[in-house]
Amino acid sequence: MDEIKKILKRNAGSKYVLTLIIFVVWLVFFDSSNIVGWIKDVNDVKNKKNQKLHYQKEIERIKENIKELNENDESLEKYARENLYLKNDDEDVYIIEEDE
C-alpha cells in the first residue's frame, strides 16, 4: 500500500499521467461516443426489443380475434354489440356501468 502511494506521489505531477487522466475523462464524458451515451443506447436497445416482443404478441392476439370473428356471424354480431355499441334501428341500447 505504501509503495502504491509512493508511485502515485512520484508520478502525480508527470505530464504523461496528467495527459492520460485528461484523455480518460474526455472519453468517458465528453466524446461523441462516450461511455455514458453508450450505456444509454444499450438500455434503449433493450427497451425497443421488449416493445417489439410486446407488439408481436399483441399482433398475434389481434390475428386470433380476427380469425374468430370471421368464423361465424354470431361472434361478429356479439363483438359489434359489446365493444362498438352497434344496434339495429328498432332497438334501444342501455349501457350500465358497474362501480368497482
Domain boundaries defined on the chain: 1-31, 41-87
Helix (H, G, I), strand (E, B) or coil at 92: coil
State the pLDDT at residue 6. Answer: 75
Distance CA 49, CA 74 (A): 38
Residue environment code for 6-41, b if the CB has 16+ CB neighbours within 10 A, otherwise e:
eeeeeeeeeeeeeeeeeeeeeeeeeeeeeeeeeeee
To the question of pTM greater than 0.85 for the whole model, the response is no
How high does pLDDT run on average in the chain? 84
Which pLDDT band holds residue 56 (cuts at 50, 70, 90)?
very high
Least confident of 47-51, 66-70, 89-93: 89-93
Question: What type of residue sits at position 70?
Answer: N
pLDDT band at 50 (very low <50, low <70, confident <90, very high): very high
